[in-house]
């Protein structure tokens, strides 16, 4: 087969309608072979002889989409100095747009013989390797557009492609747990009923099932074990042949956009699936180990590990940075995704040792005309020194706010943390304002995939991870959870009532706080993992959403709160509270926010730390919303009173005086058995139940019947003429 010179750019396998260009970076290689595989995995090897700027390349006019391929890289093999080339190991293209097959764990995939890490293994690995696939890049995107939903109008739904629909009865069986299943009408209707504006999909980059899990009969469920940064994970596709997963993924994105829902990808650029120095040789390690990985300076056979997974990507190398940026641009430009959540993002900020908010990666993102315009969400920690970086990312970024999670959990289990709780529900200005960011820099969450579900948060004091085969040593031990007196499942109606209220308390707090709320899939309907708080290996009904066991009333409650948020900009402020006064009437002036004592007066300094203080009121002034709307006009809304009682005992409230509002209607009461019809007068007394939340909206008087008669029109016209005659 003739190989034309081709081009060094773009990297990867690129089909242009006539043939395919192949390009692979390796600075350490002496020789690179492109390996093509036919239907029965018969291998043909072709030398790429053209090299430009360490990129080996060639063009094959005979190669069409669906062609499976890999590489063999000849070069120095000196593990002690970080060099691990071995042409006997078939390597996956780091830029592969699709993959075929799965890793079949075997000695041949490793560069050494088991039991002797200093030895060299030359068994051929091709038979058991995942292969790259040439894809058809053409797709009918007609009508698709970027939604650009403002952060402050967003509700994010963290979902797992497989887990969300694997058990859905209204999804065709062949499409359950797939990209196609995610956009079935029943699923879209559910997301829209919750007011979801963006799905944050757990990793869909091609990942590997860890050998240690496979040996136990388990599988990697979360997907934080990436091998292909350009390829949609093949197992989530209903179309398994010829790179069809790419077309299916694009179809999913287009359909979600048509439903008004953005797509955010949870991405893992901080490490790869190749693990530590004892890991397999699958791709990067055999192509150019020192370029792609952070090595220990004086012991280069070992890897720096800021992630707990064995290795860290070398973000200080321009070619590794290029890989990350090329991948991000590909998913935006070719796959039309709307943003990214970066796993262990602090690791990407490590140029040398310490976390550096001015690291090269962030400079590149800031300057990139594509990536800088999409949603960028950081998980602001890693396991390295100084890894907890909440509030320290550059202005362009938003962050998973772990302090919000912890303080809200603490408050609702009765901890005396009024000040911290208030700071978090008001937007965490202490974390974000100093860097020029807005309240929506805080991605607020109470639960996420990594930990208890919401139902389990109120049902278990302890983790129960025995199913993972690690004797319950894995997972977080301190969860700030509360079982309400019984560990796990119970039929005690009092305990069940307390748990039902507790879930509503969390959901109300989450959805009505300043910032961007993120729901974990299934939390709106009472999904349980039976006390497992680390389902990384539970690709099973332990982790999947059980659509036949939904808590329908809780789902309705969640939808109601979400609707309240969507209808009222006072909960979706674009700027932090100022504490400054604003006119609300002829003579009255009130601040944009007022923290209230249960007796109706503003909180004094001593009230925040008083013994037994577990109750806080928050007045949100709808006439004092900073900023303008899309047409440049002032934003005006109803005012709200929010009361939170984190203690067990009932508390007698006195509503604030009439300057706040003459009357109030109950919008939400997590302790109520039914609606409360009569408005509450200013200064009125009202009981706030223990462990409950109460939301009041200023009463609007619509008692007067509208005038519709002809006589009314005549009277109005006469009035106008009189005013004009008399000069107004």
For 513-581, the DSSP string reads SSSEEEEETTGGGT---TT-S--TT--STTTS--GGG--HHHHHHHHHHHHHHHH-GGGS-SS-----E
Residue 383's pLDDT band, with cuts at 50, 70 and 90, is: confident
Q: What is the DSSP letter of 374?
A: S
pLDDT at 382: 79
| Rg, C-alpha atoms of the chain | 29
Catalytic residue among 200, 266, 338, 379: 379
- Dihedral, 424, 429, 430, 434 alpha carbons, nearest 10: 160
Is residue 697's pLDDT more than 90? yes
What number is the average pLDDT over the span 82-94? 98
What number is the average pLDDT over the span 147-153? 97
Is residue 706's pLDDT more than 50? yes
**Distance of alpha carbon 175 from alpha carbon 252, whole angstroms:** 12
Is residue 581's pLDDT more than 60? no
Q: What is the DSSP letter of 313?
A: B
pLDDT at 716: 79
Is residue 621's pLDDT more than 80? yes
Is residue 169's pLDDT more than 90? yes
144 is catalytic: no
- Dihedral, 540, 543, 544, 545 alpha carbons, nearest 10: 150
Mean pLDDT of all residues belonging to the chain: 94
pLDDT at 588: 52
**Higher-confidence residue: 708 or 639?**
639
Half-sphere exposure of 529 toward its Cβ, with a 13 Å CA cutoff?
34
Residue 630's pLDDT band, with cuts at 50, 70 and 90, is: confident
- Backbone region of residue 360 per phi and psi (left: phi > 0; alpha: psi in -120 to 50; beta: other values): alpha
pLDDT at 584: 46
Q: For the chain, what percent of residues have pLDDT higher than 70?
A: 97
pLDDT at 727: 65
Asked whether the whole model's pTM tops 0.85, one would answer yes
Q: For the chain, what percent of residues have pLDDT higher than 90?
A: 86
**Higher-confidence residue: 198 or 388?**
198
What number is the average pLDDT over the span 454-470? 98
What number is the average pLDDT over the span 648-673? 95
Is residue 351's pLDDT more than 70? no
Pairing status of strand 516-520 against strand 442-444: parallel
Beta bridge partners of 157: 199, 519
What number is the average pLDDT over the span 606-622? 94
Beta bridge partners of 663: 681
Is residue 705's pLDDT more than 80? no
- Residue 248 is inside which H or E element, if any? helix 244-258
Neighbours of 704 (CB within 10 A): 6
379 is catalytic: yes
Catalytic residue among 210, 305, 343, 592: 343
Is residue 583's pLDDT more than 50? no
Is residue 704's pLDDT more than 70? no
pLDDT at 724: 74
Is residue 106's pLDDT more than 80? yes
What number is the average pLDDT over the span 699-721? 75
3-state SS assignment for residue 303: strand
- Residue 57 is inside which H or E element, if any? strand 55-60
709 Cβ neighbours under 8 A, 6+ residues apart: none
Q: What is the DSSP letter of 276?
A: S
């Amino acid at each position: 087969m003739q190989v034309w010179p081709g081009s060094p750019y773009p990297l990867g396998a690129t089909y242009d309608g006539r043939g395919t260009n192949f390009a692979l970076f390796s600075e350490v290689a002496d020789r690179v072979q492109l390996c093509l595989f036919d239907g029965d995995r018969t291998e043909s090897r072709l030398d790429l002889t053209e090299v430009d700027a360490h990129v080996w390349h060639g063009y094959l006019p005979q190669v069409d989409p669906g062609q499976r391929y890999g590489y063999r890289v000849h070069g120095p093999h000196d593990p002690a100095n970080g060099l691990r080339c071995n042409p006997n190991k078939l390597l996956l293209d780091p830029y592969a747009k699709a993959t075929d097959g799965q890793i079949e764990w075997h000695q041949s995939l490793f560069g050494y013989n088991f039991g002797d890490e200093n030895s060299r293994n030359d068994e051929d690995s091709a038979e058991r390797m995942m292969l790259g696939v040439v894809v058809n890049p053409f797709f009918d995107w007609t009508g698709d557009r970027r939604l650009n939903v403002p952060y402050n109008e967003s509700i994010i739904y963290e979902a797992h492609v497989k887990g969300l629909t694997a058990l859905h009865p209204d999804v065709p069986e062949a499409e359950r747990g797939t990209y196609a299943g995610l956009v079935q009408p029943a699923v879209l209707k559910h997301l829209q009923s919750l007011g979801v504006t963006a799905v944050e999909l757990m990793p869909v980059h091609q990942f590997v099932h860890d050998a240690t899990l496979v040996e136990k009969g388990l599988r990697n469920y979360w997907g934080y074990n990436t091998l292909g940064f350009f390829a949609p994970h093949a197992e989530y596709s209903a179309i398994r042949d010829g790179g069809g997963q790419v077309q299916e993924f694009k179809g999913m994105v287009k359909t979600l956009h048509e439903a008004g829902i953005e797509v955010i990808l949870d991405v893992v650029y901080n490490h790869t699936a190749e693990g530590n120095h004892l890991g397999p040789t699958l791709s990067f390690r055999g192509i150019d180990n020192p370029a792609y990985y952070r090595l220990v300076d004086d012991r280069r056979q070992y890897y720096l590990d800021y992630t707990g997974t064995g290795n860290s990507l070398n973000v200080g190398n321009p070619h590794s940075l290029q890989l990350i940026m090329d991948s991000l641009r590909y998913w935006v430009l070719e796959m039309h995704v709307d943003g990214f959540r970066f796993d262990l993002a602090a690791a990407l900020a490590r140029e040398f040792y310490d976390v550096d908010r001015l690291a090269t990666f962030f400079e590149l993102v800031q300057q990139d005309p594509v990536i800088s315009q999409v949603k960028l969400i950081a998980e602001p920690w890693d396991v390295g020194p100084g890894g907890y970086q909440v509030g320290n990312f550059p202005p362009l970024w938003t962050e998973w706010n772990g302090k919000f999670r912890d303080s809200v959990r603490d408050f609702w289990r009765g901890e005396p943390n009024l000040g911290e709780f208030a700071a978090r529900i008001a937007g965490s200005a202490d974390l974000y304002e100093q860097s020029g960011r807005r309240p929506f820099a805080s991605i607020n969450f109470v639960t996420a995939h990594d930990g208890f579900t919401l139902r389990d948060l109120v049902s278990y004091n302890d983790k129960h991870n025995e199913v993972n085969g690690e004797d319950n040593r894995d997972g977080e031990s301190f969860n700030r959870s509360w079982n309400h007196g019984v560990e796990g499942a119970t039929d005690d109606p009092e305990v069940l009532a307390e748990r039902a209220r507790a879930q509503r308390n969390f959901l109300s707090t989450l959805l009505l706080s300043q910032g961007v709320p993120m729901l974990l899939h299934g939390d709106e309907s009472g999904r349980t993992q039976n006390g497992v708080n680390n389902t990384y290996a539970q690709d099973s009904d332990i982790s999947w959403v059980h659509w036949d066991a939904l808590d329908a009333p809780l789902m309705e409650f969640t939808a109601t709160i979400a609707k309240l948020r969507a209808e009222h900009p006072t909960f979706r402020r674009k700027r932090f509270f100022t504490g400054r006064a604003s006119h609300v009437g002829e003579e009255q002036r009130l601040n944009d926010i007022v923290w209230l004592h249960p007796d109706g007066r503003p909180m004094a300094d001593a009230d925040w730390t008083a013994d037994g203080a577990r109750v806080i009121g928050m007045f949100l002034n709808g006439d004092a919303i900073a900023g303008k709307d899309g047409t440049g006009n002032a934003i005006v809304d109803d005012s709200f009173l929010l009361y939170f009682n984190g203690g067990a005992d009932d508390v007698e409230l006195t509503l604030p005086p009439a300057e706040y509002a003459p009357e109030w209607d109950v919008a939400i009461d997590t302790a109520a058995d039914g609606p409360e019809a009569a408005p509450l007068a200013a200064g009125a007394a009202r009981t706030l139940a223990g462990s409950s939340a109460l939301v009041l909206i200023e009463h609007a008087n619509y008692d007067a019947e509208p005038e519709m008669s002809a006589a009314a029109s005549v009277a109005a016209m006469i009035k106008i003429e009189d005013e004009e005659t008399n000069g107004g």
